[in-house]
Amino acid sequence: MSDQHVRTLVAVDGSVDGDLVERVLDDPRVAVAAVGDASMGWPGREDAEALLVVCRDGSEEGLELVRRGRSDYPGRPVVVACQGSPNGFLRKAFAAGAEDVVQISTVEGTGAETYLALAKAVARRESDAVATAEGRVVTVLGPKGGTGKTLVATNLAAALSVKHQRAIVVDLDLQFGDVGLVMGMHPERTMHDLAISGGHPDASKLDGFLVEHASGAAVLLAPTRPDHATAVTPPLVRDVLRVLRTMAPFVVVDTPPAFSPEVIVALDESTDICVVAMLDVASLKNTKLALETLTLMGVKADIRLVLNRSDTSVGISHADVVHILGRAPDVLLPSSRDVVRSVNAGEPIVLTDKRNDSAKALRALAGLYLKEGR
Ligand SMILES: Nc1ncnc2c1ncn2[C@@H]1O[C@H](COP(=O)(O)OP(=O)(O)O)[C@@H](O)[C@H]1O
Ligand SMILES: [Mg+2]
């Protein structure tokens, strides 16, 4: 809503008395964008925030205006101002798609009632739109253990969250997940507890299984024992990711070094994939294979590439990397002892070290996601 006004399209059923229509609109906050009628239908005004049908009780034309308003202006609420008794008409009006029905009073005050009904309907739409907005799902992928997937996933989530773009980390390294360890968290509740709790994982239920981190991020932890991993099935992972992305602007998925069934589901649900490669020949070869596999799988997500330990002197030049992988890395992540220290301390380095070059590179990665939007 712009300031206090509701830009409203009005359509009038011809049988309503003219002075009653004036009464319905008698409030300065009802900003009439255009007026149509039952014979001509709705006027074209894309900037309208709400639609108002003025009609008699039981009016078929009025109901038809509601239906056409819903289909011509999807996402905009339709309110009905009804002359006569709305009893019996209410149900039909709601069934046609009306959001609210106001009875036109023959005394003063109908204008204010109309305004309130329109303003509430618009506010409801806006809050629904926020609640169902879908965040991005970034799956962090890497061909081998120790390439830096967990380092990247945890620091990306922390860096996004301190910039007020809350990220929920899902640790899909179901057997040997260490997100909790790297972020200094206690495994009070894990995905295994969620899996054995049964039922559909809706947002309020999932909230109870997330562990909060000081950065504002939250984590759905991997099971604490490898033999518990099988309880977490691919369909559960799919459901969980679909719900989590309605709960935060970012879901960051950490993965094991394999295209396991859960990882394939996560890739299917992802808007973004962050591939972590390391600067050695075997890792580059496997990264190339992984990139080719993603293409073969028909994955549509945007792919970013992080080259970890990019400063290692192993006789592979930047040109060699681009030649082998067929693309340039988006972020170069150098090695640093402080990284090892931060991992051991359970504190993401992006939060604790302003100057360290590895921390800067990880913040730059988060910056790419923050800048891009979708
Ligand atoms: N850029 C780096 N500088 C220093 N140590 C690193 C760096 N990247 C990874 N490491 C070390 O390697 C370990 C394994 O990284 P991790 O992110 O757990 O790999 P993955 O999740 O791919 O198995 C980390 O705990 C850290 O000690
Ligand atoms: Mg890992």
Looking at the domain assignment, is residue 343 inside a domain?
A: yes
Residue 359 shares a structural domain with residue 331: yes
Residue 212 shares a structural domain with residue 344: yes
Residue 158 shares a structural domain with residue 307: yes
Q: Is the minimum distance from the CB of 150 to ligand 1 under 6 angstroms?
A: yes
Per-residue pLDDT, 288? 95
Residue 76 shares a structural domain with residue 194: no
Domain membership of residue 81 as a residue range? 6-131
Per-residue pLDDT, 19? 87
Beta-carbon count within 10 A of 243 CB? 18
Nearest ligand 1 atom, CA 335: 3
Looking at the domain assignment, is residue 357 inside a domain?
A: yes
Pairing of strands 218-220, 136-141: unpaired
Domain boundary (131, 159, 184) is at 131
Domain boundary (85, 110, 131) is at 131
Q: What is the CATH number of the domain that holds 291?
A: 3.40.50.300
Q: Please, which residues have CB less than 5 A from ligand 2, an ion?
A: 149-150
Q: Which of 152, 172, 173, 340 to mutate to test the pocket of ligand 1 (most atoms within 8 A of CB)?
A: 340
Pairing of strands 250-254, 218-220: unpaired
Query: Phi/psi at 331 (nearest 5 deg)?
Result: -135, 135
Residue 143 shares a structural domain with residue 108: no
How far, in Å, is the centroid of ligand 1 from the Cα of 217? 20
Q: What is the CATH number of the domain that holds 43?
A: 3.40.50.2300
Residue 183 shares a structural domain with residue 48: no
Domain boundary (83, 103, 131) is at 131
Residue 287 shares a structural domain with residue 230: yes
Half-sphere exposure (Cβ direction) of 102: Cα atoms closer than 13 Å: 28
User: What's the structural domain count of the chain?
Assistant: 2
Residue 268 shares a structural domain with residue 356: yes
Residue 147 shares a structural domain with residue 197: yes
pTM over 0.75: no
Residues written for the chain:
374
Residue 204 shares a structural domain with residue 116: no
Q: What is the pLDDT along the chain (374 residues), one digit of tens a residue?
A: 546 899 999 999 988 888 889 999 999 999 999 999 888 889 888 889 999 999 999 899 999 999 999 888 878 999 999 998 877 888 888 888 888 899 887 777 889 999 999 999 888 777 666 656 789 999 999 988 999 999 999 999 999 999 999 999 999 999 999 999 999 998 889 999 999 998 788 898 999 999 999 999 999 999 999 999 999 999 899 999 999 999 999 999 999 999 999 999 999 999 999 999 999 989 999 999 999 999 998 898 999 999 999 998 888 899 999 999 999 999 999 999 999 999 999 999 999 998 999 999 999 999 999 986 55
How far, in Å, is the centroid of ligand 2 from the Cα of 28? 60
Residue reference for tokens 């004036």? 22
Per-residue pLDDT, 63? 94
